[in-house]
Amino acid sequence: MPLALFRCDASTRIGAGHVIRSMVLADALYAVGWECAFVTRATSLKSVPALANSRMQVIVLEGPAQDEPLQIAAATGGAADLMVVDHYERGEDFERACRGSAKMILVIDDATGRRHDCDFLLDAATRGPDRLATGTRQFLGPVYALLRSDFHRLRYQSLSRRKTNRGCERIVVSFGMIDASDRTGAILPILNRLLPRGCRIDILIGTHASGFHFVRNRAAESALDVEVHVDASDVPEIMAAADIALGAGGMTSWERCCLGIPALVVVTATNQLPNAAILREAGAAIIIGDGIAIDERVLEQGVKNLTENPIKYWEMSGRSAALCDGLGPQRVAIGVSPEVIRGVDEIRLRPVTTDDADTMFEWQRDPSTRRYFRNPLAPSHDEHCRWLKSKLTDNNCIFNVVTLNDREAGVLRLDRIGDSSYEISILTAPKQKRRGVASAALRLARRLCPAAELRADVLDENEASARLFSGCGYRRSGDVYISKPMRLAHA
C-alpha cells in the first residue's frame, strides 16, 4: 500500500484551510488504496478537531522549522511514496531537504510565485502557462480545487434551484472558520441596512474565530433572521440553500462556484488576489472590498443587481459553476496515481480545452471511429467547433482527454442524466486502439465520479464495446450497460 505524507499546519494565525484541503486530497488517495499520514504542529489538532478524529496517523512536530526534515525522516524511515507540502512557510529548501523521505513531492500553492523543488504542483489560483521547469506535472486552475465530495454531490441540485430567481431570501456569510480579520462582525451592520426584512442570514464561523463572541452578540441584536452556525459539519448544505453568498476570496470561492452561488467577495489577504482576478475575469463574482475596507456602494449595487435582475443572477451562477465542478481531488489523485497498462504505460485524464479541437476533429472523421455513432455522418470543422464550444460551456458535461504517457489517446465524456447519474461516451484515437487504453479510461471514469451511476448505450452490433464495458464490470440492463456507485471509504 503506497504511503502519502501531508506536511501542513492550522492555527488561529494562518487559519484551517491548509489542513482541511489536505484532508480532502488524503480522502481521494485513501479511496484508491493509499495510506495517509499527517505531519503537523500541535496547533493543528486544536484548530481542526476532525484531523485528530480521523483514521490517519498524525505525527506531531516539535522544535524549530529547520529541524523538521530530520524529524520527518526519523519518524517515517524514508518509506513514503509521496509527500504533500501545503505550507506558505515551507519552500524550495525544505522540499529539497525532504527528498530522502519521499519518492515524490507534491506542493500545493496559491499563485504566490515561490520557487519549488517538486514533482507535482497544484495551484488552483493559476490558469496561466507553466512556471516551473519541464518535468514538474502541474495541476492549474479551479478545476483542480480540493473540495469536499459533498459539494459535487449537491452541485446539480443547487444549480437547478437557481433557474428561478426569488430575490434574496437567504444569504450565507463566510469569512473562514478563523476569520482573523473579523470581517463577519463588520459586515453584519451593513447587511442590516441593505437587506429587506424577512431575509435570512446564515453565518459560518468557528469557535476559535477572533471575533466569535462579538459576532454572536451582533447576530442576536440584528433585525434580520440571523443564525450563527458554529463549526458546522453541514456547510455544503447550508451554502446550497443560499441565494447569494458573501465572504472571503480564499478556498471558499471555489466551493461557491461549484454550487453556482452568485457571490460578493471581500479580499481579506494578499494570497486571495489571484482568486479574485479569476472570479472577476470570468464574471463569476462581484469584488466588494479588500482587507482594509468594504465598499458599501459596490455591495449595495451588487445586492440590487442580483436580487432584481434574474438574467444577471443566472448568468453569474452559470459562469461561476463553469470554473469548478468539485472533482479536483479525484483529478489530482489520478494525476499522481494513474492507471498503468502493460506494466509501464500511464493512463491519465485531463480536462478538454479548445486547444484540443483539431485533434478531436481528426479522430471524429475517422471512418472506424464513426461506425457506431448515433450520427454516422462526419461533421464539418465549423460544426465540430460549435459542438465543442457548447460542451465546454455545459455544466452538465464532464469532458476529458485520455492521455497515454502524456500524449493524447482519446476522449471520455460524462453527460449528466440525473442527480447522480451520467451517460458515458468514450472514443479511442485510431492509432491507440487495442492497447488497453479504453479499459484504463473506464477505470479512471469510475475513480473520477465514484459516487455516480455510469450508464452506456451500446448498439447490439457493437460487439467490441459490449466486451469493453462488460470487462470493466458494467452490468447489462436491456440496451444499457450500468456501473453502480462505488462504496467510498474515508481516511
241-290 residue pLDDT tens: 999 999 999 999 999 999 999 999 999 888 899 999 999 999 999 999 87
Mean pLDDT on 156-166: 85
Q: Note the CATH number of domain 3-140.
A: 3.40.50.11190
| C-alpha pair distances (Å), 82 with each of 78, 151, 331 | 10, 26, 16
Please report the pLDDT score of residue 489 as a whole number.
Answer: 66
* pLDDT score of 78 more than 80: yes
pLDDT digits (tens, 9 = 90+) for 39-62: 999 999 988 888 988 889 999 999
Which stretches of 25-101 are assigned E, i.e. beta strand?
35-40, 57-60, 80-86
**Pairwise CA distance, residues 161 & 88, whole Å:** 38
- The structural domains of the chain, with segments of one domain joined by +, span 3-140, 149-323, 338-483
CA torsion, ordered 362, 367, 372, 376, to nearest 10 deg: 80
How far apart, in whole angstroms, are the C-alpha atoms of residue 15 and residue 224?
29
Percent of the chain with pLDDT over 70: 95
More confident residue, 405 or 365: 405
In angstroms, the CA 144 to CA 116 distance is 19
Which is the CATH superfamily of the domain at 338-483?
Gcn5-related N-acetyltransferase (GNAT) (3.40.630.30)
Q: Which of 99-103, 279-283, 327-331, 485-489 has the lowest mean pLDDT?
A: 485-489
Is the pLDDT score of 130 beyond 60?
no
Query: How many Å apart are CA 194 and CA 300, to the nearest integer?
Result: 7
**Per-residue model confidence (pLDDT) at position 236:** 97
User: Quick check: do 149-323 and 338-483 share a fold?
Assistant: no
Give yes or no for residue 372 having a pLDDT over 70. Answer: no
Least confident of 123-132, 334-343, 353-362: 123-132
Q: Is the pLDDT of residue 325 over 70?
A: yes
Residue 55: what pLDDT? 86
The dihedral built from the CA positions of residue 180, 50, 24 and 344, taken in this order, carries a sign that is: positive
**Percentage of the chain lying above the pLDDT 90 cut:** 70
**pLDDT tier for residue 412 given thresholds of 50, 70 and 90:** very high
Q: What is the mean pLDDT of residues 453-459?
A: 93
**Which candidate, 175, 236, 243, places its Cα nearest to that of 210?**
175
Alpha-carbon distance values, 323 to 43, 60, 257 (Å): 33, 36, 7
CA angle, corner 255, sides to 441 and 169, nearest 5?
Answer: 135
What is the grid cell recorded at 109? 500553492
Q: What is the pLDDT of residues 168-205, one digit of tens each?
A: 889 999 998 878 778 898 888 899 888 888 899 999 99
Q: List C-alpha distances in Å: 80 to 3, 32, 121, 369.
A: 5, 16, 18, 43
Q: 82-93: b or e for each residue (b if 16 or more CB lie within 10 Å)?
A: bbbbbbeebbee
Average pLDDT of the chain to the nearest whole number: 91
Cell numbers 448568468: residue: 315
| Residue-wise DSSP of 422-453 | EEEEEEE-GGGTTSSHHHHHHHHHHHHSTTSE
pLDDT of residue 12: 81
According to the CATH classification, is domain 149-323 in 1.20.1260.10? no
Q: Position 203: which residue type?
A: I
Predicted confidence (pLDDT) at residue 411 exceeds the cutoff of 70:
yes
